[in-house]
Structure 1
Amino acid sequence: MARVLMITGDFVEDYENMVPFQSLTAMGHEVDAVCPNKKIGETIATSVHDFEGDQTYTEKRGHNFTLNALFENVKAEDYEALYIPGGRSPEYLRLNEKVIALVRDFFSADKPVASICHGIQLLTSAGVVEGKTLTAYPACKPEVELAKGKYVEMAMDEAITDGKLVQIMISATSPHF
């Protein structure tokens, strides 16, 4: 079974964090969930995004998710794959140079990387999407295109792969897009 690194943070989308973590663990993979500036046993706050007829989603407080590894100790060479959930956490995690360096290290080593929805923000900030075909939450389309990736609209629960990069669209798109 694989050892997977999950980079997550406060106000990550609840389902994009909890379900893959639990599913990968249930399948026998070892998943290290880390967050910069937080220790093993500390929690991050999750959020639930909902489409209620407005032009964009609303955000509700989700669960507390307990971290099981220390961010300061992680190295890409110790993992077979990287998983990046979406929600609001990628917008500030991309400001952390070690997070960006880790993302680049996974791509340099040609290891599988998966991201969901706003998780693409870590990939665009790391400069690793040029020439790749990608999907994400529709509001991330300009970032993908500025990073020279090819954005593809997808329906809910669809995925796209480009080499060892897997992108999943699990959040419903707003009817205004």
Structure 2
Amino acid sequence: MENTKKILFLTGDFAEDYETMVPFQMLLMVGYEVHAVCPDKKRGETIKTAIHDFEGDQTYSEKPGHNFTLNYTFSEVNPEEYAGLVIAGGRAPEYLRLHQGVIDLTRHFAETNKPIAAVCHGIQILTAARVVEGRRLTAYPAVAPEVELAGGTYVSVEPTEAVVDGNLVTSPAWPGHPKFIRAFLDVMGVKIDLNATSAVASAV
């Protein structure tokens, strides 16, 4: 990838484990510089993640995940420097959306039409920022009423799927990571050449 670009990755305490670890590592793999941040936390501090699973109950179960180390300080973020925004799901978005800095950052990416990817409950930040009006998107089904109340069109898809509307990429949950990240890379203009001697990611 020429002129490696930066991605801002928003997560927080009790964000879903897979929805934090997997996108972060996948984006690093293709060559992005990914800054993982959480409001009121600094580079080198950690968040606690939670594992959400589906075990036959009426809603997901929640178990302790891992400690995830943040690699950048939220208060030092300059949104102009980033090519895209990724928002993890889980319980973190419920409280992150109360932070005005999170809302301001989200609105920057929406207003400048930069790529935004949000998974599961991460869409709660988009609805709180009022950036989904007139857009088609998906989310964890329990977030559907919020999408509609914020003026968006909720699209019901399988957990393994992703929905793309312009610069916006969304998925219901972590089983959708393969299509979710692939769609985000497409929106970012990244192509992976699997016919090369080794897979090469390049911006187009």
Q: TM-score, normalised by structure 1?
A: 0.95
- Alignment check: 8 A CA contact 1:137 1:171 kept: no
Distance (Å, rounded) in 2 between the aligned partners of 1:171 and 1:28 = 22
* 2:105 aligned residue (91, 98, 102): 102
Question: How high is the sequence identity, in percent, across the aligned residues?
Answer: 60
**Which residue in 1 is equivalent to 2:172?**
169
Q: What are the equivalent positions in structure 2 for 1:1-177 lying under 5 Å apart?
A: 1-171=4-174
Q: Secondary structure at the match of 1:60?
A: strand
Equivalent residues, number: 172
Which residue identity does 2:37 align to in structure 1? V
Structure 1 unaligned spans of 5+: 173-177
Cα deviation, residue 2, structure 1:
2.3
Q: What amino acid maps onto 2:113 in structure 1?
A: D
- Give, in angstroms, the shift of residue 169 of structure 1: 2.2
Name the larger-Rg structure: 2
C-alpha RMSD over aligned residues: 0.9
Q: C-alpha separation between the residues in 2 aligned to 1:52 and 1:117?
A: 17
**Which 4+ runs in 1 deviate beyond 3 A?**
none
Is there any run of 5+ residues in structure 2 with no aligned partner, and where? 176-204
What do residues 46-91 of structure 1 show as CA deviations (whole Å, max 9, x unaligned)? 0000111111011000000000000001121010000001000000
Contact kept? 2:141, 2:172, Cα under 8 Å: no
Q: Give the TM-score taking structure 2 as reference length.
A: 0.83
